[in-house]
Amino acid sequence: MSEGNPHFLYFSVFLQTFSLKYCPIYMDFGTKLIDEQRLILKIIAGDKNLFSELYNRYKRKLMLTCLRYIPERGLAEDALQESFIAIYKDLEKFDESKGKFITWATRITINKCLKKFRKKSVFSKMDSLLEIKYKFQVRSAAVDNLSLKDLASLINTLPRGYRVVFNMYVVDGFTHKEIAEKLNVSESTSKTQLMRAKRLLKKIIKEEDYSLMESYA
Amino acid sequence: MPNIFDHIKKAFHKPPLANEDWLEPSDQILSNIKAAIGDVDKKNRSPIVFYFLISLLVGSTLVLIFFNPIHQKNLTENQTQYEEIELSKTEANETSQTNAEFDKDSNSYLSVSNTPQIVDADIESKDKIQMANKVAIEKNLIRGGKQNLDFINGSYKLKINNQDTITSSQSSTDHNDYTQSADIIYIENEQISQHAAFNISITSNLETPINEAWNLTAELIPAVSINKLVKEEFIFPTLQVNKLSNLNIQSITPHFYIEAGVGVTFWNFRMNDDYKILVEPANFKKTGGVGYVTSIAVGKNLNPRFSLSLNGNYESIEFSSEHNSAIVYDNNLNQQTENITMATPLGLVNNQVALSRTADNSSDHTNLLVDLENEHQLTAVEFSANANISLVKNNKFSLIVSPGFGVQQILSTENKLTSLNTHNADIHDGGSLIEGSFENVKSINPFTSMQISAQRDLSDHWQISLRLGSSYQLSHIQETQDLKTNVIRYNTQLVLRRNF
């Protein structure tokens, strides 16, 4: 019975669930990772109330992800809500051997954010027409001294198509091939959008008089 | 060498979030999540409830139209200005009581009981019944040259709840109308009260054999309708006389009506999320459309509580929008023309704006963030069919709901650039005009509507109502790729109705 076998997975989940239910003391030992795993398994076992704990642990991290993709807060919160509901529904599918929970949850969140824009409108003809129409109000300071909020605002000044590709490639580590598949565009489009996004970001930073801009150029 | 993008990546990857309160989602999010995971099936029920409600509405409407106890009878071809309904011949078992009465009195008469269903249908007219102390028999009911029932030449006796109520001699002495008019006989009736079920019988010495002769039935019709035919003092209910072999009952409900109205209208433009996200960085703002509406309608009463109508509306509205736009001004030019795509609630409009420089500038170019304000006008006509259901109906007041369906056509749209502010003392608006038009506005849009009217009778033929209506477009009024706008319209009208 190999680990790739789904029966093994179900059996494993069953064993862990059984252990959690009837051997709580034994399972209370362990590191933070085990705590997270234990929390997830308890939720899978049916303790819905513990999902609030999971929510409280990761809400800010995932909200930051939502706000990077969707500047409008109300819509970002909608995406966050849908993400957590999807996380709950798919929690049994989470495989810790393949990565951390937050990585898995972030991917779900990104997918929910992308669904907020339909694939066609990720690259809108307005992108080129509404560039830099938002007056980006940041203090004159070095980029590396910018707060997280300022950095998020900086990314949000980008038109949607640029912003999505920039976030996916630079921040979230997608490859151009993955981006192309997700957004249903060609890889060259993804590369072009990324190049324009970077160019535009540099321009914005320069116009806003970032003192360390030259060192980054 | 450090890279700005690496810095951004690191900043977002393992940020300390404990002090980042701006990332705190609203409390409602967790409540919504709990509700969703608590009952996953809850979402799936909503369409079922929706379809159930729609089915209920459609079913109720069909029942009202086709199974109304008064109007399930077939219409005769002899329709004059009044509705005439043909009844089937009375079955023997239904007239057994009548025959018994006939044998006993050895007179020609017929007894008819009004059906409880009919009474129930207008049970809210109790007050009217209680007020009534007169009942009229309209003897000349059969129109179109058909036979008349001549009470004047024969003696008769009317019974209500098996009590003698009046005879022809009493009637002739008590009521001048009886002698003066052959059409109407008034009968004193203290017994008619709010009690629903009562029997009315008429005894006559007419030579015509009763089992082939006349049938007297009572039909409960709102007083407001009766007034239209008889006279002001005549109150509810009316008795109608029919011949068994060729029965025609006159319904006093007005058959047709026309309406005219005028009021104000408000259009709420609802841009989809894609559109809102797109224009949000440009600080886009818009107002709803405000204007006037005029309407006309023709309708047909199918019964006192239900009618169908065809409506035509004309609407004219104005609304505005504004956003900013980045322009790089070439300082080598005294005047520069710039192509700008403007965002409006009704889609994108391509335009040219002219900017002129009034002072020298040493730099090659000037970055401008220009504020643009636009005004728009729109006119439209719409045609709709409505089902009008009277929820409340008493003496002179009715509360009517009218679900409907229709089609709207946009007649014209107009744009005007009202303001261009460069926020730069040296560069000004050089006489810009909007040259583009709404290219992606759909000219024809289906919609559903719901109206509620508070209606009051002014006279026999005239009614006035205050009408609140809302319409929901079933298609997007504009669609530019994934940028879409829908419209919900609200209007308030004062409507005058003439009945025929």
- Tell me how far apart the alpha carbons of residues B68 and B124 are, in angstroms, rounded to a whole number: 17
Say yes or no: B402 and B296 in one domain. yes
Tokens representing residue B327 in the block: 């322009």
- Tell me how far apart the alpha carbons of residues B419 and B276 are, in angstroms, rounded to a whole number: 22
Q: Which residues of B touch A118 (CB under 8 A)?
A: 274, 482
- The whole-number pLDDT of residue B236 equals 33
CA distances from A139 to A142, A207, B203 (A): 9, 12, 102
How many folded domains does chain B comprise? Answer: 2
Say yes or no: B207 and B263 in one domain. no
Q: Which residues of A touch B15 (CB under 8 A)?
A: 64, 148
- The more confidently predicted of residues B209 and A16 is A16
- Picking from A102-116, A158-172, B103-117, which range would have the lowest pLDDT averaged per residue? B103-117
Q: Which residues of B touch A144 (CB under 8 A)?
A: 2, 7
Tokens representing residue A80 in the block: 């966050």
Could you tell me if A91 lies within 8 Å of chain B, comparing CB atoms? no
A46: left (phi over 0), alpha (psi -120 to 50) or beta: left
Q: What is the pLDDT of residues A125-142, one digit of tens each?
A: 444 434 433 333 333 345
Q: Are A106 and B297 in contact (CB under 8 A)?
A: no
CA distances from B301 to A111, A115, B253, B307, B415 (A): 56, 50, 7, 4, 44
- Tell me how far apart the alpha carbons of residues B455 and B257 are, in angstroms, rounded to a whole number: 14
Could you tell me if B323 lies within 8 Å of chain A, comparing CB atoms? yes
CA distance A139 to chain B (A): 17
- Tell me how far apart the alpha carbons of residues B28 and B426 are, in angstroms, rounded to a whole number: 49
The number of C-alpha atoms within 13 Å of B84 and in the hemisphere containing its C-beta is 19
Q: Under an 8 A CB cutoff, do A59 and B25 touch? A: yes
CA distance B339 to chain A (A): 10
Q: Are B225 and B252 in contact (CB under 8 A)?
A: yes
Q: Under an 8 A CB cutoff, do A55 and B30 touch? A: yes
- Tell me how far apart the alpha carbons of residues B411 and B381 are, in angstroms, rounded to a whole number: 7
- The whole-number pLDDT of residue B28 equals 87
Q: Are A47 and B245 in contact (CB under 8 A)?
A: no
- The whole-number pLDDT of residue B451 equals 93
Dihedral of alpha carbons B31, B34, B37, B38, sign = negative
Could you tell me if B325 lies within 8 Å of chain A, comparing CB atoms? yes
Bond prior to A6 in cis (omega within 30° of 0)? no
Query: Among partner residues B8, B15, B29, which is closest to A81 by beta-carbon distance?
Result: B29
Q: What are phi and psi of B279, to 5 degrees?
A: -90, -10
The ipTM, to two decimals, is: 0.72
Q: Under an 8 A CB cutoff, do B4 and A129 touch? A: no
Chunk chain B into consecutive blocks of 10 residues (it has 500) and report each block's average pLDDT, rounded to whole numbers: 71 80 88 77 53 74 56 36 30 33 32 30 32 33 30 39 42 32 35 35 39 35 27 34 34 73 94 80 87 94 85 94 83 80 83 80 79 90 92 84 93 86 82 71 91 88 92 89 88 92
Q: What are phi and psi of B491, to 5 degrees?
A: -145, 155
CATH number at residue B482: 2.40.160.20
Say yes or no: B418 and B434 in one domain. yes
Could you tell me if B153 lies within 8 Å of chain A, comparing CB atoms? no
- The more confidently predicted of residues B320 and A4 is B320
B444: left (phi over 0), alpha (psi -120 to 50) or beta: beta
List CB contacts of B59: < 8 A, sequence separation 6 or more. none
- Tell me how far apart the alpha carbons of residues B41 and A151 are, in angstroms, rounded to a whole number: 40
**Three-class SS state of A133:** coil
Does residue B6 form part of some domain?
no
Fold of A1-116: Rna Polymerase Sigma Factor; Chain: A (1.10.1740)
Last residue of a domain, one of B251, B275, B292: B251
Q: Which of residues 252-281 of B touch A (CB under 8 A)?
A: 273-274, 276-281
- Tell me how far apart the alpha carbons of residues B321 and B485 are, in angstroms, rounded to a whole number: 14
For residues B80, B85, B89 and B92, what is the CA-based torsion angle, rounded to 10 degrees?
Answer: -140
Q: Are B270 and B289 in contact (CB under 8 A)?
A: no
CA distances from B392 to A167, B58, B299, B385, B463 (A): 60, 20, 19, 22, 15
One-letter amino acid at A204 equals: I
Query: Among partner residues A131, A201, A213, which is closest to B326 by beta-carbon distance?
Result: A131
Domain span including residue B218:
83-251
Say yes or no: B233 and B344 in one domain. no
For residues B96, B100, B105 and B111, what is the CA-based torsion angle, rounded to 10 degrees?
Answer: -30
Q: What are phi and psi of B17, to 5 degrees?
A: -105, 0
Query: Among partner residues A71, A129, A156, which is closest to B341 by beta-carbon distance?
Result: A129
Could you tell me if B29 lies within 8 Å of chain A, comparing CB atoms? yes
Burial class of residue B17, CB neighbours in 10 A (0-12, 13-18, 19+):
middle
Strand partners, B399: B392, B454
Chains A, B: CB contacts within 8 A come to 152
Does residue B469 form part of some domain?
yes
CA distance A77 to chain B (A): 7
Terminal C-alpha separation, chain A:
54
Q: Under an 8 A CB cutoff, do A125 and B33 touch? A: no
Could you tell me if B341 lies within 8 Å of chain A, comparing CB atoms? yes
Query: Among partner residues A52, A154, A157, which is closest to B30 by beta-carbon distance?
Result: A52
CA distances from B488 to A10, B448, B449, B469 (A): 51, 10, 10, 11
Last residue of a domain, one of B188, B220, B251: B251
Could you tell me if B32 lies within 8 Å of chain A, comparing CB atoms? yes
Query: What's the per-residue H, E or C state across chain B?
Result: CCCHHHHHHHHHHCCCCCCCHHHCCCHHHHHHHHHHHHCCCHHHHHHHHHHHHHHHHHHHHHHHHHCCCCCCCCECCCCCCCEEECCCCCCCHHHHHHHHHHHHHCCEEEEEECCHHHHHHCHHHHHHHHHCCEEEEECCCCCCCCCCCCCCCCCEEEEECCEEEEEHHHHHHHCHHHHHCCCEEEEECCCCCCCCCCEEEEEECCCCCHHHCEEEEEECCCHHHHHHHCCCCCCCCEEEEEECCCCCEEECCCCEEEEEEEEEEEEEEEECHHHHHHHHHHCCEECCEEEEEEEEEEEEEEECCEEEEEEEEEEEEEEEEEEEEEEEEECCCCEEEEEEEEEECCEEEEEEEEEEECCCCCCCEEEEEEEEEEEEEEEEEEEEEEEEEEEEECCCEEEEEEEEEEEEEEEEEEEEEEEEECCCCCEEECCCECCCCCCCECCEEEEEEEEEEEEEECCCCEEEEEEEEEEEECCCCEEECCEEEEEEEEEEEEEEEEEC
Q: What is the pLDDT of residues A74-107, one digit of tens each?
A: 888 989 999 999 999 888 888 888 888 888 999 9
Query: Among partner residues B24, B367, B481, which is closest to A124 by beta-carbon distance?
Result: B481
CA distance A203 to chain B (A): 12
- The whole-number pLDDT of residue B450 equals 93
Q: Mark B88-111 as b/e (b = at least 16 C-beta within 10 Å).
A: eebeeeebeebeebbeeeebbbbb
Query: Among partner residues A81, A207, A215, which is closest to B367 by beta-carbon distance?
Result: A207
- Tell me how far apart the alpha carbons of residues B311 and B259 are, in angstroms, rounded to a whole number: 9
Q: Which residues of A touch B277 (CB under 8 A)?
A: 70-72, 75, 116-117, 160
- Picking from A58-72, A150-164, A172-186, B157-171, which range would have the lowest pLDDT averaged per residue? B157-171
Query: Among partner residues A63, A72, A89, which is closest to B280 by beta-carbon distance?
Result: A72
- The whole-number pLDDT of residue A37 equals 81
Could you tell me if A216 lies within 8 Å of chain B, comparing CB atoms? yes
- The whole-number pLDDT of residue B446 equals 92
Instruction: Identify the residue among A121, A143, A212 best suited for mutation to test binding to B, counting B beta carbons within 10 A and taking the highest.
Output: A121
Query: Among partner residues B3, B23, B37, which is closest to A64 by beta-carbon distance?
Result: B23
- The whole-number pLDDT of residue B216 equals 39
Does residue B45 form part of some domain?
no
Q: Under an 8 A CB cutoff, do A160 and B37 touch? A: no
Domain boundary assignment for chain A? 1-116, 118-217
Q: Under an 8 A CB cutoff, do B12 and A55 touch? A: no
Terminal C-alpha separation, chain B:
90
Q: Which of residues 94-133 of B touch A (CB under 8 A)?
A: none
- The whole-number pLDDT of residue B402 equals 93
Does residue B23 form part of some domain?
no
Dihedral of alpha carbons A96, A99, A103, A104, sign = negative
Q: Under an 8 A CB cutoff, do B273 and A116 touch? A: yes
Does residue B52 form part of some domain?
no
Could you tell me if B36 lies within 8 Å of chain A, comparing CB atoms? yes
Burial class of residue B46, CB neighbours in 10 A (0-12, 13-18, 19+):
exposed
- The whole-number pLDDT of residue B4 equals 75
Tokens representing residue B80 in the block: 């004059």
- The whole-number pLDDT of residue B290 equals 95
Strands B347-357 and B427-429: antiparallel
Instruction: Identify the residue among A51, A148, A150, A203 best suited for mutation to test binding to B, counting B beta carbons within 10 A and taking the highest.
Output: A148
Does residue B44 form part of some domain?
no
The number of C-alpha atoms within 13 Å of B255 and in the hemisphere containing its C-beta is 11
- Tell me how far apart the alpha carbons of residues B242 and B141 are, in angstroms, rounded to a whole number: 8
**Three-class SS state of A33:** helix
One-letter amino acid at A69 equals: Y
Say yes or no: B315 and B452 in one domain. yes
Q: Under an 8 A CB cutoff, do B278 and A134 touch? A: no
- The whole-number pLDDT of residue A110 equals 92
Last residue of a domain, one of B230, B251, B272: B251
